[in-house]
Amino acid sequence: MNSEKTLRLGLIGRDISYSLSPRIHQWGLVTLGLYGEYRLYDIKADEIPSLLRSSEWDGLNVTVPHKTLVAGLCNILTEEARLSQSVNVLFRREGKIWGNTTDGKGFLCALNRLVEHPISVRRVLIIGSGGAARAVLLSLGRHSAIEHVVVASRNPEQTERNLALMKANCTVVSLEQAASELIEYDLVVQATPVGSAQVQGLPLPQPFRFAPIAHVMDLIYSPRKTEFLRLAESNGCRVQNGLLMLIGQAAASFKLWTNIPFPLERAMKELLPELEVA
C-alpha cells in the first residue's frame, strides 16, 4: 500500500464520544508511518445507507446499536459475519462493500491473555445474545478444550431461534437460571451493555455467586471496571475488561484496511497502559 495515501477511517455508532478506537487507530497509523484520520460517525440508523454509498470513507468500524442493521446493507458478507449476522468492520473491494466481524479475533486475543492455561476452561457462560456475543460464540466453537457453552438471554426462545441459524453448539437459558448456576462456570463472558456508563446495573439478577477459580471477562471498557467485574474480583476471580478485545479487533480491522500487520505486541506494551488510565 502507498504510505502517502490518506486513509479515511471511522466508527459508526450511537453515543460513542467515549470510544477509544480513534486513539488506537491513530497510534497504529503514526507507528507505521501511514497518513490518515479516524473519525466518529455518531448517526441514526436511517443515516447509515447514505454514508455507506458515499465516497468519503476507505474503512469503517461499526458498534452498537448498528451491527446487525449494517450486516443487511453490505454487498458481501464474510462467513463469520454471515453466521453471526453481525458486522463490526467494513471495507471495499472492486466497488463492493464487504462486511466482516473481527470481534471473535479480538475476543480470542483477550482470552489468551486472561487464561494462563486455556485447556482448563471447560464450561463457559456467555451473558447476552447480540452481535458481539454471537461472534464470541463462533470463536469458542473452534476451541477444542471447551465442553459446554451456555448463552444467557432475556428472551431464550427468540435467542434459540436465532442461534439455530448459526448451527451453534450451545444451550440457551434465562438470565435467572444463569444467575442460579453461575458458580458452575470456569469462564464467564459478559457481552451486554449493562454495566456501561450508558446502562448501569448488573447483567444478572441477584443473588449470584462466582466460582473462585473462574475467569470473568466483561466486554465493556467504559468504565474500566464494571460493578460485575468488581463483584467477581472480590470473589477471587481473575477478571478482565474489554480493552484487550478492543485492541485485538482493531488490529484485525487495521490489517483489512491497510494490508499491513498492526503492531499488536508493541501496542500491548506501549498503548494499553495509556488506555487503562485514559
Dihedral, CA of residue 145, residue 265, residue 133 and residue 234, to nearest 10:
80
Q: Which three cell numbers stand for residue 123?
A: 464450561
Q: How many CB atoms lie within 10 A of CB 205?
A: 12
In which element (H, E) is residue 25 found? helix 21-31
Cis amide linkage into residue 263, ω under 30° from 0 = no
Catalytic pick among 5, 67, 96, 255:
67
Cα 128 to Cα 71: distance, rounded to the nearest angstrom: 19
Instruction: Give per-residue burial for 102-127: e unless 16+ CB within 10 Å, then b.
Output: bbbbbbbbbbeebbeebeebebbbbb
Sign of CA dihedral 256, 260, 261, 267: negative
Contact 264, 110 (CB under 8 A): no
Active site residue 105: no
What is the 3-class SS of 198-254, one letter each residue? CCCCCCCCCCCCCCCCCEEEECCCCCCCCHHHHHHHHCCCEEECCHHHHHHHHHHHH
Cα 73 to Cα 60: distance, rounded to the nearest angstrom: 13
Q: Give the residue numbers marked as catalytic.
A: 67
